[in-house]
Amino acid sequence: MIKAPFLLVLLICSGRVQSQTQTPDPARPQASITLEECYGLARQNYPQIKQKELITRTREFSVDNAAKGYLPQLVFSGQATYQSQTISFPFKIPGSTLPVFSKDQYKVQAEVDQTIYDGGMIARQKELRTAEENIQLQSLEADLYALKERINQLFFGILLIREQLKQNDLQKADLQSGIDKVQASLSNGTAFRSSLDELKAELLRADQTRTELKASEKAFAKMLSLFIHQPLDENTALTTPSAITADAEIKRPELALFDYRKKTFDIQEQQLKTTTRPRISAFVQGAYSRPSLNFISNDFGFWAMGGVRFNWSLAGLYTRKNDKKLLEINRNNLDIQKETFLFNTNLQLTQQNEEGNKYQALIDQDQQIVDLRASVKTAANAQLTNGVITPHDYITQVNAESQARQSLALHQVQFLQSLYNSRTTAGH
């Protein structure tokens, strides 16, 4: 029978995989597939991988927009005003008429401003956009890396079921051998019909177990097929991974994500310095207004002006100290998150390594049990032929050997899975 942990995996994964919209491509059959190939195909076909291109394009547009701050900035403006008082002359010049200025005034203006020095603000903005892209890409890598654990569950789940099917075949062969011997004894009048029926009932029960195992194998294969976008069935061979030695060094993608996040704090600190630096730009203005630059004329006229503008705001000095403290708090908080992640990962690795040691010890014991149970079953087979034991006693010995072999197969697969789970947890 399939073990409870794998049934739990089946329930968890089935709910998640239902959201997948991809279906296997029958035009590309797989006769055999390895665990590493499943990793690559799952990553390649997982819908979330499409975000990678979108993140890169977003960064390109954002950096390009930030760089446009160096381009000339064109601004159009206009205004119409009415004022209560205008310039008036308190004297008269004989022989001349002094101008009278209208209280309604109008101006349409265009200005071109070219940045000469911005204190490094635009450069920091470009760096920040690139850093944000790296964070998003690395976060995506962490999400995609989590697929490996789910692939491990499905891949080793199928391997376990197939090992159980092999043991089921052996059990059925032993039962059939007993049926043949009792059938011969029944023909000779030295056995009872009930003894034959008991063996046949046990054979049917073994068939039921096989039906359940095949259904579970089909479900696991279907879910793995959806992940890797390849057709899988009972005829597809899964290459059993070889035993590996896990590297204790942690190389998870989350560690690079922590580093990228910390880099943004460095860039933001550089941005704080730019807020207290001066700004220098060149400008050209052109306008049509009344009055124009000729302030003693009340007529509409065109005019132009050009020059250099200097601007230095020291308002950032008021908050700079607190802003730096906030950045330092954020750095410390990130360090704590990284430390917590490493602690939990090491804790998980310790648990997985101990599980591997446990399974390795159990395998040695299982092998001894299988050898002993096989010897007892062989003796029981001969005793059944000679009528020394009943078919019920024979069934008991057959089931005992079958259970021992299933335990051995289970622990062998669990041992391999613990090794690959450790490798996945460590980031290799």
pLDDT recorded at residue 18: 37
Residues 297-336 as b or e (16 or more Cβ within 10 Å = b): ebeeeeeeeeeeeeeeeeeeeeeeeebeeebeeeeeebee
* Neighbour tally for 232: CB within 10 Å: 25
pLDDT recorded at residue 22: 39
Query: Residue 253 half-sphere exposure, CB side, CA atoms within 13 Å?
Result: 16
Q: Which fold has domain 4-16+31-70+124-278+318-426?
A: Outer membrane efflux proteins (OEP) (1.20.1600)
Give the integer Cα–Cα distance in Å for 176 and 97: 131
pLDDT recorded at residue 2: 39
> Which token pair is 56?
């890169």
Q: Are 168 and 418 in contact (CB under 8 A)?
A: no
pLDDT recorded at residue 20: 38
Amino acid at 159: L
SS3 assignment, position 258: helix
Nearest C-alpha neighbor of 203 from the set 186, 183, 233, 187: 183
Q: Where are the alpha helices (DSSP H) in 102-192?
A: 121-145, 147-187
Residue corresponding to tokens 């020291």: 314
Written as tens digits, the pLDDT of the chain (428 aa) is 334 333 333 333 333 333 333 344 444 444 688 888 998 888 888 888 877 788 777 777 777 877 777 888 899 999 999 988 887 777 777 777 777 788 889 999 999 998 888 888 888 888 888 888 889 889 888 888 888 888 888 998 898 898 889 888 888 888 888 888 788 877 776 667 887 888 889 889 999 999 999 999 899 888 988 888 888 877 788 888 887 776 678 888 999 999 999 999 998 888 888 888 889 999 999 999 988 888 778 888 898 999 999 988 887 788 888 988 999 999 999 999 999 999 999 998 888 888 888 988 999 999 999 999 999 988 988 888 787 888 888 888 888 888 888 888 889 888 988 888 888 888 87
pLDDT recorded at residue 338: 92
DSSP annotation of 72: P
State pTM to two decimals: 0.72
Q: 47 preceded by cis ω (within 30°)?
A: no
Which helix (H) or strand (E) segment is 111 a member of? strand 104-117
Sheet holding 279-290, edge to edge: 73-82, 104-117, 279-290, 301-311
pLDDT recorded at residue 24: 43
SS3 annotation, 196-225: HHHHHHHHHHHHHHHHHHHHHHHHHHHHHH
What is the CA 244 to chain-centroid distance, rounded? 24
- Ordered by start, the domain boundaries in the chain are 4-16+31-70+124-278+318-426
Give the integer Cα–Cα distance in Å for 4 and 157: 11
> Which token pair is 60?
């390109």
Give the integer Cα–Cα distance in Å for 302 and 292: 7
Strand partners, 304: 286
Q: Are 47 and 227 in contact (CB under 8 A)?
A: no
Give the integer Cα–Cα distance in Å for 159 and 417: 10
Give the integer Cα–Cα distance in Å for 144 and 166: 34
Residue 389 backbone phi and psi in degrees, to 5: -120, 165
